[in-house]
Amino acid sequence: MQDFSRRGMLKATAAAGAGAVVLPGIAAAEAPGASAATRGADGATCEPAQLTGRIVRPNDPNYASASLGWDELFVHYPLVIVYAQNTQDVVNALTWARQHDVALRVRSGGHSLEGWSNVDNGIVIDVSELKSAHIDTAARTATVGAGLNQLEAVTTLAKKNFAVTTGTEGSVGLAGATLGGGFGFLTRYLGMACDSLIGAEIVVAEGADCAKVIRADLKNHSDLLWALRGAGNGNFGIATSLTYKVAPLKSVTYVQATWDGLGDLHGVFDTWQRTAPVADDRLGTQLEVHRNQILLFAVLAEGTPAEAKKLLAPILSVGRPNVSVQVGNWGDVYAGFQIPTENEPANWKFFSQFTDKPFPRKAISVIASFMRDAPTDDTNFFTQAFGGAVRKSPRGGTAFPHRDALFYSEPGVGWGTRGEPGSGDELTTQAQTWIAEFSQALRPYVNGAYVNVPNIGMQDWETAYWESNFDRLRKVKAQYDPRNVFQYEQSIPPASC
């Protein structure tokens, strides 16, 4: 079987231990701390700031690669890119940007799906090199630098038999995934990624042209912690470290089932949507529909193959799927189904949506019709079962509102060859048209949207992402960023006085 990415499909068979990341000193190092360079009252000015950290400018030989995000459909030319090496570098960069009246964007994993973590003629403050981690096994907490990607976080925690919810793609930044909500195979077991977030160090704007560091947790700036749990991506400040409540997890059973063709789609999809969201909370499942295959991926936390097969029996009894099973440490399993970024298509387009009621047969027929006419082999319709722990909001609450969804889904299409500028241009219009028409055809059966997979051009995106929480988010924005320093195409504006 071929290997596809999650925005294609997960690797066919997880190889235990393959791709595990080892970060020198990661288990012992504390996340870096700093204090603001100047802490003037509101309206006060700061001393002239100097950029510090690893600086990349347009005349540097690695500028082209540094300015390119994961989705190569979007190309920007920033004035300067600052790779922060500690929190003070972030303070200096934010102060410098304000003093020079330069547009700024924040970047961690570089997976912003509409290219919003980059900007022309502005400054990109990149925290991807803040890769420290401190795990307190007694307290069951982990404080990590905002630069860890999901693979690094999963494998580091797994060495201590701990876990938090992450998405399935290892190269995605942990901070970005968490601050937008964050879900994956452990969602039904542990809740959203943001549900485990109990604290954050964040650099915010202060006064006329300053910056400072604050700590948000349940006792300090708890309103900001609430907002960071689901709306924190580039809206209020720059997270430099995150603290999670971690859960014990020693082993998982990983199951993959494959159906050739789309002949069993109605039976597979309908059975999945009626069983997966109400199954044992330990069971997380993803269903992916391709133009010539249907794939089911499942992870049973702290469960045996016999238990997994029993829980999945209704869907595995449809047709004659090819089934494989693996048992192992979560870090090894997770690392095993990763696909190297260089093997993925260059360009991507997605549309996010949630579903509260099972799709009728007509909706499943819509999926079948569009997938049969998919523009490329890297096109898919991806779903994630909700229910279980997602329905329980943590102490202090979260800005993420889609607690009652049965499942999340997104059509996605990838095209072009990575590293070749302009590659796939002849398919761009076809791919974007396919996504637009597919999402429009599903509108009667879906609602809402996921901020980490933004729907560009969507009307009422504010309530699609955050429902009734949007007004409260605007008030939090007015408290921590009244001058709207952190803004982009779909950023939260501050409430007016």
Say yes or no: 277 and 241 in one domain. no
- Radius of gyration of the chain from its Cα atoms, rounded to whole angstroms: 22
On whether residue 418 sits in a domain, the answer given is: yes
Q: Quick one: 263 and 369 in the same domain?
A: yes
Q: pTM above the 0.85 mark?
A: yes
Question: Count of domains in the chain?
Answer: 3
Q: How far apart are CA 156 and CA 444, in angstroms?
A: 42
3-state DSSP percent of the chain in helix, strand and coil, to 5: 30, 25, 50
Q: What is the C-alpha separation between 180 and 186, in angstroms, rounded? A: 16
Q: Find the domain containing 109 and state its range.
A: 54-126
Residue ranges of E strands in 351-440: 353-355, 380-385, 407-417
Distance in angstroms (rounded) separating the CA atoms of residues 141 and 128 = 21
Residues 241 and 7: their CA atoms lie apart, in Å, by 27
- Asked if residue 129 lies in contact with residue 85, where contact means CB atoms within 8 angstroms, the answer is yes
Q: Is residue 30 part of a domain?
A: no
Count of other CB atoms within 10 angstroms of residue 427: 18
Judge if 423 and 305 occupy the same domain.
Answer: yes
Domain shared by 274 and 232, yes or no: no
Claim to verify: residue 140 and residue 216 sit in the same structural domain: yes
CA distance linking residue 97 with residue 203, whole number of Å = 13
Residue 483, both tokens? 């001058």
* Residue-level length of the chain: 497
In whole angstroms, what separates CA 428 from the centre of its chain?
A: 24
CB 294 within 8 A of CB 268: yes
Q: How many CA atoms lie within 13 A of 364 on its CB side?
A: 20
Question: Are 326 and 228 in the same domain?
Answer: no
**CA 35 from chain center: how many Å?**
29
**263, 397: one domain:** yes
73 and 105 within one domain? yes
- List helix spans (H) across 317-424: 330-336, 361-372
Per-position pLDDT tens, the chain of length 497: 333 344 444 444 433 333 333 333 333 333 333 334 344 445 567 899 999 999 999 999 999 999 999 999 999 999 999 999 999 999 999 999 999 999 999 999 999 999 999 999 999 999 999 999 999 999 999 999 999 999 999 999 999 999 999 999 999 999 999 999 999 999 999 999 999 999 999 999 999 999 999 999 999 999 999 999 999 999 999 999 999 999 999 999 999 999 999 999 999 999 999 999 999 999 999 999 999 999 999 999 999 999 999 999 999 999 999 999 999 999 999 999 999 999 999 999 999 999 999 999 999 999 999 999 999 999 999 999 999 999 999 999 999 999 999 999 999 999 999 989 889 999 999 999 999 999 999 999 999 999 999 999 899 999 999 999 999 999 999 999 999 999 999 999 999 85
Question: What does the angle CA 346 – CA 352 – CA 355 come to, to the nearest 5 degrees?
Answer: 150
